[in-house]
Amino acid sequence: MRESEIRLLYINLDPAKIDPETLAAWLGQLPERKQAQIRKHQHHANRVQSTLGWRLVEQAMHQLGFADFTLAAVDFNSPHKSGSAFPADFNISHSGNLVCAAALRDARLGIDVERIRPLKSDVIHKYLNGNEAQQCENEPARFFDFWTQKEAIIKAHGQEGIVRLREVELLNDQGRFADKTWYLTPLHLADGYAGHIATDCPTTRLEIEKVDPYQVRK
């Protein structure tokens, strides 16, 4: 049974506090094709979160020991994998004021964080099975535990999309999807947020670091 180390970096920041000039400077550190994708986001908050997420990816990969890793090596049409030159997987997630990036050697990985907020009943039943939805009736915040577990697994599997969330079967700290077992680790990064990491490794060490957005290292 192998043990792998996950590097998780996160930022807790209100995107509205980042002025356009600061965002432009951060964005300028990314490859041109990624800059173009981020500029297509309608909302300032999404542009800030995406920019910070990708900057954290580079730092996380460097911390794993890939000193030569650069975002220029990433196929941003399928950004989940770093590519064969770097035997690692990485993923980003953001919600509310949280931006996260995680990286892992020689394994598959997905991460999802969500701000806990009120939901309509039809949303709960759309993405959860009957037993899961029933648990949310008395404890609505449980939806975000289920959601982040399922979403992390979907992302680790390969960005299948939320249309397949109901296909993910959950049991304690594991999940099954597409005939594969995934191992789940809960995240408690800030009050009012739920989060999980999914990997195909049965055991992992998780190293978490809160990062100052103004001190993200290249």
pLDDT digits (tens, 9 = 90+) for 182-193: 999 999 999 999
- Contact between 76 and 30 (Cβ < 8 Å): no
What pLDDT digit, counting tens, does each position of 106-130 carry?
889 999 999 999 888 788 888 898 8
Spatial strand order in the sheet of 3-12: 88-95, 98-105, 3-12, 203-210
Q: Are 50 and 127 part of one and the same domain?
A: no
CATH number of the domain residue 144 falls in: 3.90.470.20
* 74 & 158 share domain: no
DSSP track, 204-218: EEEEEEE--GGG---
Write down the pTM of the prediction: 0.92
Question: Could you tell me whether strands 3-12 and 203-210 are parallel, antiparallel, or unpaired per DSSP bridges?
Answer: parallel
**Is the confidence at residue 169, as pLDDT, over 50?**
yes
Which residues constitute the domain of residue 165? Answer: 111-200
- Whether residues 77 and 136 share a domain: the answer is no
pLDDT score, position 9: 98
Pairwise CA distance, residues 175 & 218, whole Å:
35
